[in-house]
Structure 1
């Protein structure tokens, strides 16, 4: 038997009672697991299937190279952010986001700790923390913009230049990118409500250029409606 912690990114119902879980784990990075009987009438643990819920997962430690079966799983801790509609919409969006960009990611302690950091910020009702988080992930992955003297960020090259190359990356949005990238405590940065929509759009454009097959998360529309 082998146990480890992991954040649930997504899950798919399989048959009548089973499911396949996609998780980002502390020790192995992105992993998929088979979970038997989770949708049976007597199983109360289906309530654990929440995006970015941190789980203690136990699997059979065999040499089978196929998808491993979970023998036991528990929540690491109770978290009341799922009862907060704003925090909940952020969680669904981030989980959808990470589910696609981390699919080939092996063990990465910085990513794992950053997810916990985001959960802590949402607990404190920092509802624009996902914007900071997504920039931090770019830095961890080694594809964040290079700081320079230019006023405008070129999203394709990741370089600041003297003239604009994309309508979303105006001087104001580009300055916010610089501020976050250079801050020692980026979560303390206050982003105005007016600027948040454009900044998030700029992040999505940047990811499109730097992650192959990147798609806009389906949960974006719900996120935007909640924060209108």
Structure 2
């Protein structure tokens, strides 16, 4: 069946000497992995440029549901970024976000709302001038589509229970958000991307809060692991 799919590149790995396996999240079929035969054979092969992390593509494929690796018949850019792959800071964010998505969306099926969220967020990042906290809000809003968005019923309480995903009266174990981090958490819950420039924090605050969010993911997503690109992200924004 010949299909045209809107896709976002999540990861790529070298296979054999000259082949590439690319994992994408598509609007129509969820997670789809492609094998590109011989794409690494020549440095002049222009197809490799299409598969930078988080690139948005239109892919034409002869799709077979029982095949684990699909083949690309034709492709083109769906959205051509102006800065994500040229700006070192945005590139570090893109590497980190793709790491998280590849980890979190292992078995994801078609989910148009999730695809639209990721697409819109990346387009915002590409044109934004104030994006240092983008990844924090991106991760927090992503939980809405993954099924563990924080319960905001009692936001006036003094603790947030990471295990239960809800605000709490008491701190009964170590997996809680409190104090300055809780204030930031509440602020982010009430913020959209266009208002991110109003949130100011130091690099230490940003790194600490990111660790909290990643712990939240680990507690609610089976098999989720801290992204390997976290260290690179922290070094770039330090």
Q: Which of 43, 46, 56 is residue 44 of structure 1 equivalent to? A: 46
Alignment of 1:19-168 (within 5 A): 19-41=20-42, 42-62=44-64, 64-79=66-81, 80-123=83-126, 124-125=128-129, 126-147=131-152, 148=154, 149-164=156-171, 165-166=173-174
For 1:208 and 1:63, locate their aligned partners in 2 and report how far apart those are by CA, in whole Å: 30
The structure-2 alpha-carbon separation of the partners of 1:169 and 1:110, relative to structure 1 and needing over 3 Å to count, comes to same
Q: Give distance in 2, aligned partners of 1:63 and 1:88.
A: 33
1:66: Cα distance to partner? Answer: 3.5
Q: 1:223 aligns with which of 205, 210, 233?
A: 233
In the aligned structure 2, how far is the partner of 1:187 from the partner of 1:168? 28
CA distance in 2, matches of 1:176, 1:102: 27
Q: TM-score under structure 1 normalisation?
A: 0.92
Q: Match for residue 179 of structure 1? A: 187
Structure 1 unaligned regions, length at least 5: none
Cα 1:34–1:101 shift into 2, 3 Å: same
Contact 1:7 1:54 in 2 (8 A): yes
Q: Distance in 1 between matches of 2:217 and 2:169?
A: 22
5+ residue gaps, structure 2: none
Aligned residue-pair number: 227
Once the two structures are superposed, residues 13-70 of structure 1 have per-residue CA deviations (whole angstroms, 9 ceiling, x without a partner) of: 1122211110000111111111122112141221222110111111114464342211
Q: What do the CA deviations read for 1:79-124 (whole angstroms, capped 9, x no partner)?
A: 1321101000000000010001011111112221222222233221
TM-score using structure 2 length: 0.88
Alignment of 1:181-200 (within 5 A): 181-183=189-191, 185-189=192-196, 190-193=199-202, 194-200=204-210
Root-mean-square deviation (CA, aligned residues, Å) is: 1.8
Separation in structure 1 between the aligned mates of residue 36 and residue 232 of structure 2, nearest angstrom:
28
Large movers: runs of 4+ above 6 Å: none
